[in-house]
Structure 1
Amino acid sequence: MEEAAFVSKVRELLGKEPKGPEVYKISIIFPNQDKYDGDCTRTSDGALERNGYGVHTTPDGIIYQGSWKNDKMNGLGRLEHPSGAVYEGEFKNNMFHGVGTYIFPNGAKYTGQFNENKLEGKGEFTDTQGLEWDGTFHYTAAPGLKLKLEM
């Protein structure tokens, strides 16, 4: 998905949430040199918490852009790693959880269900040779995986 379209979709979905606390736009650099640019709200004790859309980057090149809730990656997002690995999809409490696509550093790709960072459920896997496989995944196993043939 094109970045502008992705940002628009996340903001559209965020706009459907009920109105809550006042949202602030911030740019902050953490003591470990991580940087966050985006939306935040104040907790009941006055602390700022990432909530809404934002971009978090680390000094070593990890970039997350997407939805935040309760100071964690929650909702739709895209996480890029300097190795070339990319995950785009649903997050829950900083984990890949729901439907998403993971592109491995070697170019292989999995699209399907995730459960707490694990491939779990129906999905499709494209290997490094471009062959497409379809089936049910259970973390590191995929019993009954079938090669998709186009005839």
Structure 2
Amino acid sequence: MSEEEPVKVSYIFPNGDKYEGECSRDTSGALVRSGTGKHTSAGGVVYTGEWHEDKIHGRGTLQHPSGAIYEGEFKDNMYEGVGTYIFPDGSTYKGQFHKNRLEGEGTFTDTQGLVWTGQFHGKAALGLKMHHSVLTKQTLFY
């Protein structure tokens, strides 16, 4: 089968989800999401980014109705690689992800602006280091 140019589509799924973007034919001839596109679920989750063989794969942004946002790399519909996750409370994590989990070197900034760096392993993050910003006071002499 020769490589075809992607086609642009706008499709509403039976469950109410909507996809607008590029598609191509897979080896069986079925039309699948491939290239770039935007998928909006009936529940309000919005993904904008790259697709490969009908899976979220590559770079993109996933926005949840809660206000949480992930921007970064995906593989097989999961956070995988480097990305930034903004939690609904405004705290952020920037770093490595593996199969939707915080996994590896990263930086967490809490709601007060305190910055923590180190190794993250899902819900565990032993030995994090807090970064301090030291303000210096200058004395003026007249």
Please give the TM-score of this superposition, normalised by the length of structure 1. 0.85
Aligned residues: 133
Paired residue type of 1:32: N
Question: How far did residue 20 of structure 1 move?
Answer: 3.6
d(CA) in 1 for partners of 2:111, 2:97: 21
Question: Which of the two has higher C-alpha Rg?
Answer: 2
1:40 to 14, 18, 23: 23
Paired residue type of 2:106: G
Question: Which portions of structure 1, spanning 4 or more consecutive aligned residues, are displaced by more than 3 angstroms?
Answer: none
Q: CA-to-partner distance for each residue in 1:34-78, whole Å, 9 max, x for gaps? A: 000000001122210000000000122110000000100000000
1:74 to 57, 68, 76: 57
Tell me whether 85-94 or 45-54 shows the greater mean CA deviation: 45-54
Higher strand share: 2
Q: What is the identity percentage for the equivalent residue pairs of Structure 1 and Structure 2?
A: 58
1:122 to 84, 95, 105: 105
Structure 1 spans left out of the alignment, 5+ residues: 1-18
Q: CA-to-partner distance for each residue in 1:79-127, whole Å, 9 max, x for gaps? A: 0001000000000000000000000111110000000000000000001
d(CA) in 1 for partners of 2:91, 2:124: 16
SS in 2 for 1:91: strand
d(CA) in 1 for partners of 2:69, 2:4: 32
Asked whether the 8 Å contact 2:26–2:53 carries over to 1, the reply is no
Counterpart mapping for 1:127-138 below 5 A: 127-138=110-121
| 2:40 counterpart of 1:57 | yes
d(CA) in 2 for partners of 1:55, 1:90: 15
| 2:26 counterpart of 1:26 | no
CA RMSD of aligned residues (A): 1.2
Paired residue type of 1:122: E
Structure 2 spans left out of the alignment, 5+ residues: 135-142
d(CA) in 2 for partners of 1:44, 1:131: 50
Higher helix share: 1
**Aligned residue in 2 for 1:99:** 82
